[in-house]
Structure 1
Amino acid sequence: MVRVEGVEPTKPHTFFGFIKKTYKKVTKLKIRREIANDIKDVKIQVREVKERYDRYKDVIGNTNARTEVDPRVLTMYTKISDLVGIEKSMDELTEMLSKGDDLSGQKLKVVSVVGFGGLGKTTLAKAVHDKLKKNFDCGGFVPVGQSPDTKKVLRDILLELDRELYKASATMDEWQLINQLQKFLVRKRYFFVMDDIWDIRTWEMIKCAFMDSHPESRLIMTTRIVDVATKAGGIYNMEPLSDDNSEILFYTRTCGGEGLTSSNQHAEVTNKILKKCGGVPLAIITIASLLVGKQSEDWSKVYDAIGFGHEDSEVVQNTRKILSFSHYDLPSHLKTCLLYLSMFPEDSLPKVLSL
């Protein structure tokens, strides 16, 4: 506005004042045109940003993830009889839960199941909970997630315990919900699973609801973050499936458990696929789902396309979504490191440059 209006008043009643006034009008027109062009450029850039966002929103991550159905929910309802290689992990986790009763009642027994996405933490925790919950007075399985609403999580815990209290808690704040939970759990033996916790602050808030509890109560927490697991204590590290269990899971999904070992070529492609999956159940199930109904001759084509970038099926989209959670949580320097490693062909040994 200063540029357009000027800072010095003109004297229109003189010849020089008339010339100056005319010059200023011409200048104003030029400046206003520049401003109009600038505004037009800004609008064009805004449209371009919107178009880029629409093109790449599936790559950069869905900002509306809370409203979508989390594909990990399906793992909560898998029958134990359909699971492969979980018996040993169930026994080990059950043994950890059975040890170390604090008869003084000063400390809650917590076991943290930790590992990267796709290893089956949720599946394991749910299986153990379903097996042992009958031995406790109450309990439940509560998903938390990467960006949780703490108030909703506390209300979900309350819902697992008492529906009437849950209905009455709609207007309660976090501290009121914590007090309500502590009051309800006094002298009760409970068994809860808090699934997929990403940060220490969320864990500390949730743990407040279980303070001063019965010494025989138990709590399982699943997380991808080692620091969170260390803070909670009682770490159980998830391991990938063994080669034998990977093969069993693969053939169970592709052909009902019957391995086609008669074909050496088929066995060779299967071994390559399982090697690429690295014992991660989610990856094995995803690739096996792509191969169902395909001729064995086509399996090598699927292997060559593995990378979750050439398929539009639901299983591939769900796998990409689950694994992307871990990627987007990485600090920026590790993301850059992954970009550097992606320049090298598969199975090559990148050279570290000394600067």
Structure 2
Amino acid sequence: MSEEDLAHQVKRSLLRKRYLIVLDDVWDIEAWNRLEASFLDNGNGSRVILTSRLHDVAPQDKLHHETHSLRQLTPDQSWDLLKAKLYPGKDLTPKLCELQQQVVEICQGLPLTVVILAGILSSMDRRDWKEVVEGLSLRNVSSIEQCIATLELSYKHLSDNLKHKRSEDVANDYLMQLISRNLVIVSKPGSIDGQSLSHSRFVV
């Protein structure tokens, strides 16, 4: 089904209906431009809510669209949220208090960054907190880029079984299992690892 066909089908299904549609975390205004024609103004109170982290994504037509900019957290609010996530109902450790200023600067008032950072720190040895916080503090980037960097760090600290594997990695794991069970024999001598398997020969 083409984009035009899909837009027409959405438009037809919403005809004479009252609806509330939420488009969450939109990164490209073109996505909205392609969809807008599907949402008819039937004069019955229907609404479309679009959320985005980027100001440029907000529709520029002020006559038909209202823009509401959410305020970022203050440094104190960011710190209170981090404390609530890390130590609900408990006193903070001196080690975390030493990092307060850096933590507040990293989060840049974004609740998502605060929550992610709290999750990262809670899963780590406290002796490693300073290294992680200082590593993020060295980035001279925008709040959005900082949020993405924190998300990437969160992903890196996931256990291996929770990370999405490339198809090559999955194939390599299966092949190693077959070799360990003697169902596949390496006929060409060499190192058996993820890098050299493609250069080895196998006998089934």
For 1:1-355, list aligned pairs within 5 A.
172-231=1-60, 233-260=65-92, 263=94, 266-292=96-122, 294=124, 298-306=128-136, 312-314=156-158
8 Å CA contact retained: 1:186, 1:214: no
User: Distance in 1 between the 2:96 and 2:29 partners?
Assistant: 47
Question: What letter is aligned with 1:256?
Answer: P
User: Distance in 1 between the 2:71 and 2:8 partners?
Assistant: 38
User: Distance in 2 between the 1:303 and 1:314 partners?
Assistant: 17
Pair member with larger Rg: 1
Q: CA deviation at 1:244?
A: 3.3
RMSD: 3.3
Q: CA deviation at 1:295?
A: 5.8
Q: CA deviation at 1:273?
A: 1.5
Partner SS, residue 305 of structure 1: helix
Q: CA deviation at 1:284?
A: 1.8
Would the alpha carbon gap of residues 244 and 216 (structure 1) be closer, same or farther in structure 2, given more than 3 Å must change? same
8 Å CA contact retained: 2:82, 2:115: yes
Would the alpha carbon gap of residues 296 and 271 (structure 1) be closer, same or farther in structure 2, given more than 3 Å must change? farther
User: Distance in 2 between the 1:255 and 1:295 partners?
Assistant: 15
User: Distance in 2 between the 1:291 and 1:225 partners?
Assistant: 27
Q: CA deviation at 1:219?
A: 0.7
Structure with the bigger RCO (C-alpha within 8 Å, sep 6+) is 1
8 Å CA contact retained: 2:102, 2:134: no
Question: What letter is aligned with 2:68?
Answer: Y
8 Å CA contact retained: 1:249, 1:257: no
Richer in helix (by share): 1
**Identity rate, percent:** 30
8 Å CA contact retained: 1:200, 1:231: no
Question: What letter is aligned with 1:235?
Answer: T
Runs of 4+ in 1 over 6 A off after TM superposition: none
User: What number of residue pairs does the alignment pair up?
Assistant: 143
TM value normalised by structure 1: 0.34
Would the alpha carbon gap of residues 267 and 206 (structure 1) be closer, same or farther in structure 2, given more than 3 Å must change? same
5+ residue gaps, structure 1: 1-171, 319-355
Would the alpha carbon gap of residues 270 and 193 (structure 1) be closer, same or farther in structure 2, given more than 3 Å must change? same
8 Å CA contact retained: 1:196, 1:224: yes
User: Distance in 1 between the 2:134 and 2:122 partners?
Assistant: 16
5+ residue gaps, structure 2: 140-148, 164-204
Partner SS, residue 230 of structure 1: coil
TM value normalised by structure 2: 0.55
